[in-house]
Structure 1
Amino acid sequence: MRIGIIGGGAVGLLAAAYFSKKYDVTIYTRRYEQAEQLRTHGLTVMYGNERTTHRVHAEPFVRAIEEDVLFLAVKQYDVTNILNTRIHMLQANAMMFLQNGMGHVPYLPHLPHKHIALAVVEHGALKIDDTTVSHTGIGRTKWSVWRGEKETFSFLSEVDARFLFEYVDDWETMLIEKLMVNVCINPLTALLGVPNGMLVTHVPYRQAMEQLFHEVASIFQLEQQERIWRHIQTVCEQTAANRSSMLRDIEAGRRTELDAILGYVIERANERHVPAPISTLLYALVKGRELEGEKKK
């Protein structure tokens, strides 16, 4: 079976490495240089003191792709661009989306693919360079079928034990719960410049996160709020030393996924005529840091 992975970031590289143990994998990158480096040097995964290198195919994403299964592992804003301008290039029987936000969901009914699945990645992954990714924490990748047959993705049960996939029936609840984690951790850490663990160990930060949580939970009319709040705190504790992806983007002067995460929340609040003062203020502050960083580049 041929697997294509669009995106040479941390998640794309990590998935490609584990899939390559059993399948023919091609990584489709933004830059020619990264594709050339992967072809020349292979893809290296660091896990603790282990370093393993995997042979993968790699090409820049500039032409039509023909694969059995395609994984879209790019930032949310790049997903929107691809689905708006290059959907004709995604020639595959099945697709799986690996994104943090929910901005891609409105596009799904317009896609021609017979089998579409959505997933949320709970692993810790850090891209070291164009050919190296550090697997900083083992988690799970939860996935659910949006359209088509579950059996199309049955190969996911055979992936390496360090990269487990777990099926869930309700894709919307899965995405919203992942969104809640990202909403509560990413913008606050990006604004405060602190690692994830500080959000629970520093009382004022935890109080701010809890206020944000209750506002967003109200917007989405979440059930089982206590369970989800405990889960968010557990994620902070388990990734205490990690710097969130949004914080790393801010520090590097890169565009963040703020619009797909907190911007999405504000859009839903406006649609439902629900006030969102905390989310709106936090969005403005983080967006200001993002724009300031981009000007310095």
Structure 2
Amino acid sequence: MTELRSWWSGSPEPDTLEPPASFDTKPLKDGDLSGPETEHPLTRRIHILGLGSIGTFVAHSLRCLPNPPPITLMIHKRQQYEEFKRTGRVISLINKESEINDEQRGFDVDLFEGTTAERTGQWKYIPDQEWMKEVSNPVEEGEMLPSGELYIYCLIVAVKGHATVSALQSVKHRVDARTTICFMQNGLGQIDELNREVFTDPRTRPTYLQGVVSHGVYMTDPTTVVYAGLGTVALGICRDGDRYPLPPKTWNHNISELSEEERRKFHPTDKELFANLSSRYLLRTLTRSPVLACAAFPYLDLLQLQLEKLALNCVLNPLTALLDVPNGTLLYNNELATVERMLLAEISLVIRGLPELEGIPNVRGRFSAKRLEQLCHAITQRTAKNSSSMREDMRNGKKPELDYINGYIIRRGEEQGVKCALNFMLMQLVKGKHLFTKPGDAVPYATKRIRIQSDDADQPGTVTLSDESTPPRGSL
């Protein structure tokens, strides 16, 4: 029976919340991004788009803060909103180990009502308000737009990678250059796609933050998150290639020889990248949470952390999804170990050739195939009882995020003239398997039977395949 009380009173153990050490990666210090003491954000409100396990976990964690900011949950489906109302507008977070349940209230809602003729979304703001009482989070001056919607100053995006463009298209009219958007997603490449299709003008484009999440969380119902594994969130600013392009390959000047304008353009400091007030406010708010355990990193350090996680996801996610097995099944299997080594060798070749990492010390060692293999083995051991997110998506008939995981490696390899045949084949195999599974058809922990029509003249008729699926999450 879960116990209804807060389970993180007091400070977390500092030695358990440090991001994994990795060569020269070091968090930014408190004073590195400080601005004028008199600066005040336009509004304290934070919108959250994407209420899966990560988005719901972040919403709950921010409501636990002393003097929490107003949190607006952006809900696309009315059915999900009705479920949220039915549970009393409460989000629950359950510690899997202790079974302690913490409930948080006070969330406002933005409910999606459809798409306008201009292809933007129409949202209905529904404040949190008890019967005959004032609203919990009054709208501040300047927040309300003429359409009746609220301006979005800080936005946390936790939707699936393939839904990023359509999700941001629906709120495009509610953001501008003052806005900061923080992405907490798997994979890479979503921001490039957004800049091509949604925020095409660099002058009005929001500032982007990115988060690398290592917490273990999953949902048991639309308003309940189970906290299964202690982790961290590494945060950092995203360098806008249109505003701050990389130096030309023929560039042979030292930074000391550049004019101030050239130095700002090609070698911006992290303080300059954090020029937007909303980005500093959102960063400070997220790092206040002891549960999220956020740490801010310089841009290039965060990029390397993202690439490390991406390399591991390129192996663990598609293999466990294709074979329909928990992570630990990949351990001590010589045949699969050979596949992993070949994939990681291809991934290592692409990452070490990225122009963004040119000139950074230890890149060849950090992203060598041998070290990536060691990392992959360590993560597989640590998460042996877990079921990967891609495997769970496949089991529930959801589209896997391959285009932003293995697909990213394939695209960046093409830029360098590297044909990533192994990653491409694995991606196509998982996509092909996905076509056999439709929403509602997945049978997670029972016998599945697949009937295949044969066109072979020598073996006419149908073939029936029987598959005993693997044990449920955590039972390995």
In the superposition, the TM-score normalised over structure 1's length comes to: 0.91
Partner AA of 1:52 in structure 2? D
2:117 — aligned with what? none
Pairing 1:57–2:108 present: yes
> What is the rounded CA distance, in whole Å, between the counterparts of 2:387 and 2:438 in structure 1?
19
Matches within 5 A, 1:50-199: 50-55=100-105, 56-61=107-112, 62-63=122-123, 64-84=149-169, 86-90=171-175, 93-106=179-192, 107-108=194-195, 110=200, 112-146=204-238, 147-149=273-275, 151-152=280-281, 153-159=283-289, 161-169=290-298, 170=300, 171-199=302-330
Pairing 1:271–2:387 present: no
Are the counterparts in 1 of residues 152 and 174 from structure 2 also a CA contact under 8 Å? no
The structure number with the bigger radius of gyration is: 2
> What is the rounded CA distance, in whole Å, between the counterparts of 1:90 and 1:11 in structure 2?
23
Structure 1 residues 11-33: Cα deviation after superposition (integer angstroms, max 9, x where no partner): 11111110111222121122112
Deviation at 1:80, TM superposition (A): 2.1
Are the counterparts in 2 of residues 213 and 229 from structure 1 also a CA contact under 8 Å? yes
Pairing 1:219–2:350 present: yes
Are the counterparts in 1 of residues 396 and 440 from structure 2 also a CA contact under 8 Å? no
1:281 aligned counterpart, secondary structure? helix
Which shows bigger deviation, 267-276 or 119-128? 267-276
Pairing 1:242–2:386 present: yes
Which shows bigger deviation, 274-283 or 198-207? 198-207
Deviation at 1:249, TM superposition (A): 1.0
Structure 1 residues 172-195: Cα deviation after superposition (integer angstroms, max 9, x where no partner): 323222211211111111111111
Extract unaligned runs of 5+ from structure 1.
Answer: none
2:468 — aligned with what? none
Pairing 1:33–2:76 present: no
Q: Judging changes above 3 Å, is the alpha-carbon distance between structure 1 residues 157 and 188 closer, same or farther for their aligned structure 2 residues?
A: same
Partner AA of 1:14 in structure 2? F
> What is the rounded CA distance, in whole Å, between the counterparts of 1:167 and 1:293 in structure 2?
40
2:331 counterpart (200, 203, 206): 200
Structure 1 residues 207-258: Cα deviation after superposition (integer angstroms, max 9, x where no partner): 3212211111112226312444332222211111111111111111111101
Pairing 1:3–2:89 present: no
> What is the rounded CA distance, in whole Å, between the counterparts of 1:59 and 1:36 in structure 2?
13
> What is the rounded CA distance, in whole Å, between the counterparts of 2:439 and 2:280 in structure 1?
48
Q: Alignment RMSD, CA only?
A: 2.2
> What is the rounded CA distance, in whole Å, between the counterparts of 1:206 and 1:230 in structure 2?
12
1:128 aligned counterpart, secondary structure? strand
Deviation at 1:114, TM superposition (A): 4.9
> What is the rounded CA distance, in whole Å, between the counterparts of 2:372 and 2:222 in structure 1?
35
Deviation at 1:113, TM superposition (A): 4.8
> What is the rounded CA distance, in whole Å, between the counterparts of 1:86 and 1:266 in structure 2?
30
In the superposition, the TM-score normalised over structure 2's length comes to: 0.58
> What is the rounded CA distance, in whole Å, between the counterparts of 1:114 and 1:84 in structure 2?
13
Which shows bigger deviation, 132-141 or 205-214? 205-214
> What is the rounded CA distance, in whole Å, between the counterparts of 2:422 and 2:288 in structure 1?
43
Partner AA of 1:167 in structure 2? A
> What is the rounded CA distance, in whole Å, between the counterparts of 2:92 and 2:170 in structure 1?
32
> What is the rounded CA distance, in whole Å, between the counterparts of 1:253 and 1:37 in structure 2?
22
> What is the rounded CA distance, in whole Å, between the counterparts of 1:289 and 1:82 in structure 2?
26
> What is the rounded CA distance, in whole Å, between the counterparts of 1:277 and 1:113 in structure 2?
35
> What is the rounded CA distance, in whole Å, between the counterparts of 1:145 and 1:14 in structure 2?
22
1:247 aligned counterpart, secondary structure? helix
Aligned length: 296
> What is the rounded CA distance, in whole Å, between the counterparts of 2:150 and 2:323 in structure 1?
41
Deviation at 1:288, TM superposition (A): 0.4
> What is the rounded CA distance, in whole Å, between the counterparts of 2:379 and 2:85 in structure 1?
35
> What is the rounded CA distance, in whole Å, between the counterparts of 2:61 and 2:399 in structure 1?
28
Structure 1 residues 137-165: Cα deviation after superposition (integer angstroms, max 9, x where no partner): 11111111124346332222211x23210
The answer to which structure has the higher strand fraction is 1
Give the fraction of aligned pairs with identical amino acids, expressed as a percent: 26
> What is the rounded CA distance, in whole Å, between the counterparts of 1:201 and 1:58 in structure 2?
48
> What is the rounded CA distance, in whole Å, between the counterparts of 2:228 and 2:440 in structure 1?
30
1:292 aligned counterpart, secondary structure? coil
Are the counterparts in 1 of residues 46 and 72 from structure 2 also a CA contact under 8 Å? yes
Q: Judging changes above 3 Å, is the alpha-carbon distance between structure 1 residues 39 and 66 closer, same or farther for their aligned structure 2 residues?
A: farther
The answer to which structure has the higher helix fraction is 1
> What is the rounded CA distance, in whole Å, between the counterparts of 2:399 and 2:174 in structure 1?
25
Deviation at 1:296, TM superposition (A): 7.9
Deviation at 1:294, TM superposition (A): 3.1
Partner AA of 1:198 in structure 2? T
